[in-house]
Amino acid sequence: MKIVLDRPRCEGHGLCEDVAPQLMHLDEEGELVLDIETVDNDVEPAKAAVRVCPVAALRLA
Amino acid sequence: MSMTLKRIVVVGNGIAGLTAADSLRAAGFDGDLTIVGDEPHAPYSRPALSKAALLDADDMTSHQLPPSTHEAQEVRGVSASGLDADRKVVHLDDGSGLPYDAVVIATGSRARLLGTGPKTEGNAGRCDGELTLRNLEDALTLRRRLTNRPSVVVIGGGALGMEIASGCLSAGCEVTLVAHDRPLTRQLGPYLSGAFLAAARRHGLKLAPSHAVELRSTGGRTADGRPLVVLADGSTIEAELVVSAVGDAPNVEWLASSGLLTNGRLEVDARGRVRPGIIAAGDVAAFPTKHGIQRVPLWTSAIEQSKAAALALVRGDEAPELDFQPYFWTEQFGLSLKASGFLPLAGAPEFLEGDPAGGPALMRWSHDDGSGTAVAINKRIPIPKLRRLSDTAPLVASPTA
């Protein structure tokens, strides 16, 4: 399963990092960086990150 | 997991119901899951409705959430009309009933209305011409009405009212805001209220001098049929469009004879439980916070409550209590604010970055109990970092009662 980021939609809330810090983080500029894009073991945190985003900038494909 | 937990019914298909369903699956519940809700749509992002969804002329996707993975049976466009806790059945307004072993109450809240006017079909309790912004239909209606650039009166000086006012100004409308108090003061405190008011005035927002407002339902129109907003002193403001944002009311009426309400409120414990086998989460539920048992009708609040409650439904007392960490954001008048910690804020902040003159800033307020609230304005910052800043103990730590 792959995490897909719709970068233009991302507003940098960072709630995704809050629930899945092992998968993603906001860099110094506040841009979201996907540290791990293909998730096979961390599916639940990935789902949680997708769910918590208030602008739906993340999805699983 | 309890062996008897085979059928769970989730009442409410907003973000709380959706998160509860996801969390029940994540916690290992693999039985029958049914989600019933009165909204005809898939769950969407409510915060987006008063932000990007009002502003983006062509893009009407900012509120859409990714498809769900909980594989629940979803019943949309149907309301729950009652709950029989003894027989363990949720009654629906189409006359049917859903038996359950456990139930999740996530029916959310609705916009409070100023109106006491005639209750006509589709206009229950609304004053003539009163719009609100709570659900997707409201947002679509407001967008449609704004295309003609009407003059707008927004009633309500909270975050929602100010976001609506900002959106209407961006759409090219003349906007007057009517509020009991100085806008955002009750929500954010005087310092941030001042910053937002200054930005609002720069963007052309007019503030009506009012202490109370009445929206007349009959006889409250100008000769050419515009609604009239009547202020406490008898003066009137006419507008082509009146939008009210005067708070929300929890959807608990369907539980009136369920025996679950306490003084009209749906109160839950620190694990979201109303009683064994019944949990509640989201805008409908009043839960224990360090400022007492209260509803906190915000996006992250709904998500955190739902996760904690769902886990407690499956695991019982082994599940951790809700450790509620308030997170709030708003976008209006060119300012984007993120706040971690309790609001409103008294006094002036310590500036960690930036300065009071404006521009991107990172601020912190210290509270008497040793906790703090960290606020970022026009600055992208990871929420974990903002949370750490709010948690950081002050240099002089002296616990006070």
Output B388 or B130, whichever has higher pLDDT. Answer: B388
Output B229 or B342, whichever has higher pLDDT. Answer: B342
- Give residue-wise pLDDT tens across range B62-113: 788 888 888 999 999 999 999 999 999 999 999 999 999 999 999 999 999 8
- Chain A residues in contact with B48 by the CB 8 A cut-off are 54-55
Total domains present in chain A:
1
Mean pLDDT of B218-231: 66
- How deeply is B392 buried, as exposed, middle or buried, from its count of CB atoms within 10 A (0-12, 13-18, 19+)? middle
pLDDT grade, residue B355 (50/70/90)? Answer: very high
Highest mean pLDDT of the ranges A29-43, B20-34, B128-142, B212-226? B20-34
On the question of pLDDT at B136 being above 80, the answer is: yes
What is the three-state SS of B47-114?
HHHCCHHHHCCCCCCCCECCCCCCCCEEEECCCEEEEECCCCEEEECCCCEEECCEEEECCCEEECCC
Instruction: Report B:10-29 residues touching A (Cβ under 8 A).
Output: 18-19, 22, 26
| Model pLDDT, residue B127 | 61
CB B46 within 8 Å of CB B15: yes
Looking at the DSSP bridge assignments, the partners of residue A57 are none
Rounded CA separation A18/A23 (Å): 10
| Model pLDDT, residue A11 | 83
- Give residue-wise pLDDT tens across range A10-45: 888 888 998 899 999 998 888 899 999 999 887 889
Instruction: Give, for A26, the enclosing helix (H) or strand (E).
Output: strand A24-26
| Model pLDDT, residue A41 | 83
B143-175: burial string, b at 16+ Cβ within 10 Å, e else: bebbeeebbbbbbbbbbbbbbbbbbbbbbebbb
Decide: helix, strand or coil at residue B130. strand
Output B73 or A8, whichever has higher pLDDT. Answer: B73
Q: B204's torsion region: left (phi>0), alpha (psi -120 to 50) or beta?
A: left
Average of per-residue pLDDT values in chain B = 88
Every domain of chain B and the residues it spans: 7-110+248-318, 113-244, 348-391
HSE at residue A45, side-chain half, CA atoms within 13 A, is 18
| Model pLDDT, residue A28 | 82
- Chain B residues in contact with A51 by the CB 8 A cut-off are 18-19, 22, 65-66, 303
On the question of pLDDT at B304 being above 60, the answer is: yes
- Chain A residues in contact with B163 by the CB 8 A cut-off are none
- Here the tokens at position B284 are 């409908």
Judged by average pLDDT, the poorest of B30-44, B76-90, B208-222, B320-334 is B208-222
State whether B382 and A58 contact (CB < 8 Å): no
Nearest CA in chain B to A25: B382
pLDDT grade, residue B30 (50/70/90)? Answer: very high
The type of residue at B401 is A
CB atoms within 10 A of CB B248: 19
Confirm or reject contact between B386 and chain A (CB < 8 A): yes
State whether B65 and A51 contact (CB < 8 Å): yes
State whether B382 and A25 contact (CB < 8 Å): yes
Rounded CA separation B75/B385 (Å): 40
| Model pLDDT, residue B224 | 64
On the question of pLDDT at B396 being above 60, the answer is: no
Q: Which candidate, A48, A40, A53, places its Cα nearest to that of A20?
A: A48
| Nearest CA distance, A31 vs chain B (angstrom) | 8
| Model pLDDT, residue B125 | 55
On the question of pLDDT at B226 being above 90, the answer is: no
Confirm or reject contact between B380 and chain A (CB < 8 A): yes
Confirm or reject contact between A44 and chain B (CB < 8 A): yes
- Chain A residues in contact with B379 by the CB 8 A cut-off are 30
State whether B62 and A55 contact (CB < 8 Å): yes
| Model pLDDT, residue B318 | 96
Judged by average pLDDT, the poorest of B131-135, B211-215, B326-330, B341-345 is B211-215
pLDDT grade, residue B338 (50/70/90)? Answer: very high
Rounded CA separation B235/B26 (Å): 57
Decide: helix, strand or coil at residue B22. helix
CB B373 within 8 Å of CB B342: yes
CB atoms within 10 A of CB B218: 9
Highest mean pLDDT of the ranges B55-64, B187-196, B389-398? B187-196
- Chain B residues in contact with A12 by the CB 8 A cut-off are 380-381
| Model pLDDT, residue B248 | 95
Looking at the DSSP bridge assignments, the partners of residue B104 are B10, B279
Confirm or reject contact between A51 and chain B (CB < 8 A): yes
One of 3.50.50.60, 3.40.50.720, 3.40.50.300, 3.30.70.270 is the CATH number of B7-110+248-318, namely 3.50.50.60
| Model pLDDT, residue B209 | 74
Judged by average pLDDT, the poorest of A41-50, B73-82, B224-233, B326-335 is B224-233
| Model pLDDT, residue B210 | 67
CATH class of B113-244: alpha beta
Check for a shared fold between B7-110+248-318 and B113-244.
yes
State whether B66 and A21 contact (CB < 8 Å): no
Backbone angles phi, psi at B261, to 5 degrees: -90, 145
The type of residue at B149 is R
Instruction: Report B:283-312 residues touching A (Cβ under 8 A).
Output: 299-300, 303
- Here the tokens at position B370 are 């040793």
Output A53 or B313, whichever has higher pLDDT. Answer: B313
pTM, 2 dp: 0.90
| Model pLDDT, residue B121 | 41
Mean pLDDT of B299-324: 95
Question: Tell me, what CATH number does A33's domain have?
Answer: 3.30.70.20
On the question of pLDDT at B35 being above 70, the answer is: yes
On the question of pLDDT at B218 being above 50, the answer is: no
Nearest CA in chain A to B51: A55
Domain hosting residue A24, numbered range: 3-60
Confirm or reject contact between A39 and chain B (CB < 8 A): no
pLDDT grade, residue B180 (50/70/90)? Answer: confident
State whether B379 and A30 contact (CB < 8 Å): yes
Q: Which residue in B61, B384, B386 is closest to A21 by CB distance?
A: B384
| Model pLDDT, residue B117 | 46
pLDDT grade, residue A54 (50/70/90)? Answer: confident
Pairing of the two strands B152-155 and B175-178? parallel
The type of residue at B185 is T
* Cα dihedral B263→B266→B269→B273 (10° resolution): 140
On the question of pLDDT at B119 being above 50, the answer is: no
